[in-house]
Structure 1
Amino acid sequence: MKAVFAFDSFKGSASSASLAGAASEAFLEVFPDAETKCFPVADGGEGSIDAVYLSAGATKIVTAVHDPLMRPLETCYARCKDGSALIEAAAASGLTLLAPSERDPMKTTSFGTGEQIAAAISSGCRDITLALGGTATNDAGIGILSALGYVFRDSEGNALVPPGFSGSGNLAATGENLSRIASVDASGAMPGLAQCRFTLACDVSTVFYGPDGAAYVFAEQKGASPGDITLLDKGLRHFSEIIYGTTGKDISRIPGSGAAGGICGGLLAFLNATIRPGIDMMLDLTGLRKAIAGADIVFTGEGSTDGQTLMGKAVSGICKAAKDSGTEAIVLCGNCGLTAGERRTLGEQGATAVFPVQSGPVTLEEAMLERTVLANVSRTVKEIAMVIKSLQTRHRQH
């Protein structure tokens, strides 16, 4: 018996690695001779670097950058064995870097992520994957591009620069000033940038602006008021027009262009960049796809399995990989919010069965404790393994 364990984190409760470890140990209690492999999982957002670092033997490179409010920060990116780089947008531009009272996508910048990219390019990387997700920004990537040498100007020629760097007449390169941009100057782009290839890994299909765009879908959770959201969306719409006039590219309705506060759309417009579902990228970088293909069964899961799971999340990606290779896929979750139709769809994507792991009524606080989650996952995996073993025994007897 060959089994793979690849869980997304149960956010606020248990890490990807701890869940896989607990599930594997439980399985081995029933099948002590089984060959098991554990993989940390991320879908292209937060946790991507750790997943690659642990599974693919990448090297962590520490860089001195700035956080979304331009405070000094040390963070890292992953340098892979083939010389490519993986950078998490959330590492320098993440929402978790700010206290709740500091969160304001009108005034935050992605400049620090641009500094990480610049450091990778300066070290010789030309193939860069940017994992999008978990950002505190809604600046359409102008902070990143500014760090790479692009200059954005208003109608009077004033440059948009990182917050705190503003000189006389200059504006901050943040979400609140997107509507002020009149021109884009790429003449100062850093050496080597033109030779780079970027993969933008994301797990959402949000477009650039509008009701289904970056501001209306995500800005509230980043601290924006209803009035802010209207202004941010207006800025994104205006910036998309500037992009079209400058590059001839219409990025406004590309699925995923609104990811990470529009970073995805901004980089698609000005860099040699393509979008790829985050989980697909992680399946290949970590070797998980290959491991699933060689296994009899894969256990995966997440804190809440619901309609969002079907839209490119890690669990659905793992189920699809299992289906492609004929491997059984078992999904465990803290809460199952799938409708009957959504459950059928997840089954069509490759899920053999879905099991909520909570065994009885407890408080939400108790249910989300790490020890509770790991115990529930272990118990559920062991019960499933016992069913499998019983069926195997009966099959051999007949």
Structure 2
Amino acid sequence: MVKVVVAPDSFKGSLTALEVAEQMKLGVKRAIPEAEVEMVPVADGGEGTMDTLVHHTYGEQKRESVEGPLGDPVEAKWGILGDKETAVIEMAEASGFNLVSSDRLNPLQASTYGTGQLIKCALDYGCKRLLLAIGGSATNDGGAGMATALGVKLFDEAGVELKRGGAQLKRLHSISIEDLDPRLRDVEVVVASDVTNPLCGPNGASFIFGPQKGATDLMVEQLDQALSHYAAVVKETVGKDVKDLPGAGAAGGLGAGLIAFLDAGLQPGVDLVLDVLGFDEKVNGASLVLTGEGKTDEQTSFGKVPMGVGLRAKQKQVPVICISGSLDDGYKKVAKYGVDAFFSITDRPQTLDCAMERADQLVAETVEQVISVYCLRGPRS
């Protein structure tokens, strides 16, 4: 019996990871009707992580009204995994770039307060483990808003609590964690992040990610100075030195706040997801693994799904084929991470819109052809 594991990411804007997996399974079955196909739709810790983990573990989704990046109320989703003890939160749901129109982007004022509110919702539910995916932020406040929502108090020199936003941190004089939610002491917090940038400096949160959130050159300087001051006060008050810590600059410094106040551990996003899905066990006995994403290029080798899947399958000596919407410059670099072959689903010259509309059909047809050829070489059973 041939066993094939299909473990794709989503084809962004076209198919979810589950829909891609279903079409891959269809293609495999057309070529080998008797094949055992294990569907393991994957995410890399960014968009879609919550949906993937909740679906695969038979969990449930919740909706809460929380404070958006600029203080407006937003409806945010968060998930509870099938064990009923693990919450999965995408910070973009509450504090994301997608929640602010381009003409309103303002990293000086944007806050992660809503993300803290979602964490509090998970604590109210009784969750003992928190998985946070922190990509796609509109914020640059070092996680100060998140911490405030959970009981941390930030004061200026006059003893007045600071307002929201990264720019306010330049006025920070002292921090009180006396009212930090005590339930956090009994909760494990794991952060999915592939960003290794420090909090401050030329490679820090403000300089690298600030401009895409609407920061001018002057704003970048202001925010970097504010975060540097914030890090100094955190070190003095909380005893955590987060300024130069790899990953502290993730999500506008939310990584730093989670480490400082929630004692969080950072983990590559795709590894966190693969662990929760039990991917290593599912690959046991497999003849082949199929993975893929919307576009495979040089960036894939910086922690995206095909790289993570390739590395895990390589440890089990199982071959991996990547089926993607398109292959762009640098995709061959992913080969050193355990991916043996690459195929694009594009079957003829066509517009991007046309290819996206036909993506389900194209995935199934491409997989069918790839598996048919694979069979000619004698698949391992």
Instruction: Give the structure-1-normalised TM-score.
Output: 0.89
Q: Return the alpha-carbon distance in structure 1 between the equivalents of residues 234 and 38 of structure 2.
A: 46
Matches within 5 A, 1:131-146: 131-146=133-148
1:123 equivalent in structure 2? 125
Give the letter aligned to residue 69 of structure 1. Answer: L
SS in structure 1 at match of 2:325: strand
| 1:59 and 2:60 aligned | yes
Q: CA deviation at 1:262?
A: 0.7
Matches within 5 A, 1:284-303: 284-303=275-294
Unaligned runs of 5+ in 1: 161-171
| 1:266 and 2:257 aligned | yes
Q: CA deviation at 1:277?
A: 1.1
Q: Return the alpha-carbon distance in structure 1 between the equivalents of residues 285 and 242 of structure 2.
A: 39
Q: CA deviation at 1:174?
A: 0.8
2:24 equivalent in structure 1? 23
Aligned partner of 1:309 among 300, 312, 330: 300
Distance 1:137 1:294, change over 3 A: farther
Distance 1:361 1:238, change over 3 A: farther
Matches within 5 A, 1:183-194: 183-194=174-185
Matches within 5 A, 1:40-189: 40-82=41-83, 83-160=85-162, 172-189=163-180
Q: Return the alpha-carbon distance in structure 1 between the equivalents of residues 197 and 321 of structure 2.
A: 28
Q: CA deviation at 1:205?
A: 1.7
Q: Return the alpha-carbon distance in structure 1 between the equivalents of residues 207 and 284 of structure 2.
A: 39
RMSD, aligned α-carbons = 2.1
1:163 equivalent in structure 2? none
Is contact 1:87–1:129 with CA below 8 Å preserved after alignment?
Answer: yes
Q: Return the alpha-carbon distance in structure 1 between the equivalents of residues 193 and 151 of structure 2.
A: 24
Is contact 2:54–2:82 with CA below 8 Å preserved after alignment?
Answer: no
Q: Return the alpha-carbon distance in structure 2 between the equivalents of residues 182 and 89 of structure 1.
A: 27
1:167 equivalent in structure 2? none
Give the letter aligned to residue 92 of structure 1. Answer: A
Q: CA deviation at 1:338?
A: 4.3
Is contact 2:247–2:256 with CA below 8 Å preserved after alignment?
Answer: yes
After TM superposition, the structure 1 stretch with the greater mean CA deviation from structure 2, 111-120 or 352-361, is 352-361
Per-residue CA deviations over 1:216-239 (Å, capped at 9, x if unaligned) read 222222222232222222222221
Equivalent pairs, count:
379
Per-residue CA deviations over 1:60-105 (Å, capped at 9, x if unaligned) read 2332322212222332322223312111111111111222222222
1:165 equivalent in structure 2? none
SS in structure 2 at match of 1:380: helix
Unaligned runs of 5+ in 2: none
Aligned partner of 1:354 among 342, 346, 349: 342
| 1:253 and 2:224 aligned | no
Q: Return the alpha-carbon distance in structure 1 between the equivalents of residues 285 and 198 of structure 2.
A: 37
Aligned partner of 1:376 among 354, 362, 365: 362
Q: Return the alpha-carbon distance in structure 2 between the equivalents of residues 185 and 379 of structure 1.
A: 59
Is contact 1:39–1:51 with CA below 8 Å preserved after alignment?
Answer: no
Give the letter aligned to residue 269 of structure 2. Answer: G
